[in-house]
Amino acid sequence: MADLIGNKVAKNFAENVEFSNNGNFHVKGAANYDWGMKDRLSRIFNPKSGKTVMLAFDHGYFMGPTSGLERLDILIPRLADYADCLMGTRGAIRSSVPPTYNKAIALRASSGSSVLQDDLSHESMVVGIEDVIKMNASAIAIQTFIGADGQKETIEELNKAVNFGSRYSIPTMGVVAVGKEMERTNQFFLLATRMLAEFGVQIVKTYYCDDFEKVAAACPVPLVVAGGKKIPEKDALTLAYNSIQGGAAGVDMGRNIFQSEFPEEMIQAVGKVVHEGYTDKEGYEFYLDLVNR
């Protein structure tokens, strides 16, 4: 292992220089993958914009029926058309998402904790690879707790998913968790996102932070940014805009869409910012126009 003492802090991220090994493929770091992997990534990341609007509704697996997600069978049909990819558990998707939607699925495949516990950092891959294949998932999503009690086990589970995924050309999305006590500094996200990429995941889900450009530049695979707790629509669109400007390949947004008073309008506005280059201001005006129509 590299000697930590005297280790020089990284600073040359060349944030303004394009990633240089992309061939003619639109997903960062994916030029050397095979056809199946590229096909699945192309279902998640729109080949025209290179970006994704991922709708996250996997919160129930550790929180129960949180606000906005009481009735998935009613909510998801209202929003699915506007999402590139749906992120949920197999139980939610099988029961509440019609297969006729033919949407990319980021299958939440790790769990092990609930809000009844103080330490949520212990998760393992609980969905078998056979079920991932049967559900035609476009990605296996595994949460990893860097810096927490469950770090070693969740790294092992993430690597298990990468191994299975490589066998069947199914991308793994490494989910960077921020537990109650864990810091949200750019140093933390630089470390966590890069670790997950080096383990071999094809996508990293993370959070926006200061100096996000450096985090994105230092991560050789696409970053998608979680929305986090509900904030005003205007601010959530600014978060999406800053993320895209900072080098994210999309958002994986949940509460800021499904807890909005106008979720359909909100997800469409997010789509404009992510795919069509709208500024946050233009996205918010678009949102208001839809709401007031």
What's the rounded Cα separation, in Å, for the pair 193 and 108? 18
The two three-digit tokens of residue 124, written as one number: 């393992």
Range in contact with ligand R5P (rule: CB under 6 A) among 67-75, 130-138, 166-174, 226-234:
226-234
Answer yes or no whether residue 158 interacts with ligand R5P by CB under 6 A. Answer: no
Task: Please choose, from the candidates 61, 66, 65, 49, the residue with its C-alpha nearest in 3D space to the C-alpha of residue 89.
Answer: 61
Residue 225 φ/ψ, nearest 5 degrees:
-105, 130
In 64-168, which residue ranges form alpha helices assigned H by DSSP?
72-79, 90-96, 129-134, 151-168
Give the nearer residue to ligand R5P in terms of CB position, either 254 or 271: 254
Give the nearer residue to ligand R5P in terms of CB position, either 26 or 177: 177
Give the nearer residue to ligand R5P in terms of CB position, either 139 or 226: 226
Give the nearer residue to ligand R5P in terms of CB position, either 150 or 254: 254
Annotated catalytic residue, options 28, 103, 205, 214? 205
Range in contact with ligand R5P (rule: CB under 6 A) among 95-103, 252-260, 273-281, 282-290:
252-260
Considering only 226, 244, 270, 274, the residue that binds ligand R5P (CB under 6 A) is 226
Which position has the token pair 């006729």? 100
Positions in 171-210 near ligand R5P (CB under 6 A): 175
What's the rounded Cα separation, in Å, for the pair 128 and 100? 23
Look at the chain and count its residues.
Answer: 293
Answer yes or no whether residue 90 interacts with ligand R5P by CB under 6 A. Answer: no
- 51 annotated active-site: no
Give the nearer residue to ligand R5P in terms of CB position, either 61 or 286: 61
The site map against ligand R5P for 21-60 (x = CB under 6 A) is -----------------------------------x-xx-
Task: Please choose, from the candidates 281, 287, 279, the residue with its C-alpha nearest in 3D space to the C-alpha of residue 256.
Answer: 287
Considering only 253, 267, 269, 273, the residue that binds ligand R5P (CB under 6 A) is 253
List of E strands, the chain: 52-56, 85-89, 104-108, 110-111, 124-125, 139-144, 172-176, 203-206, 223-226, 250-253
Q: Residue 192 CB, nearest distance to ligand R5P (Å)? A: 14
Give the nearer residue to ligand R5P in terms of CB position, either 56 or 158: 56
Q: Residue 255 CB, nearest distance to ligand R5P (Å)? A: 4
Task: Please choose, from the candidates 52, 120, 122, 113, the residue with its C-alpha nearest in 3D space to the C-alpha of residue 87.
Answer: 52
Answer yes or no whether residue 236 interacts with ligand R5P by CB under 6 A. Answer: no
What's the rounded Cα separation, in Å, for the pair 243 and 201? 20
The site map against ligand R5P for 254-273 (x = CB under 6 A) is xxx-----------------
> Is residue 185 within 8 Å of residue 209, measured between CB atoms?
yes
State how beta strands 172-176 and 203-206 pair: parallel
What residues are labeled active site?
Answer: 205
Query: Under the rule (CB under 6 A), what is the footprint of ligand R5P?
Result: 56, 58-59, 87, 175, 226-228, 252-256
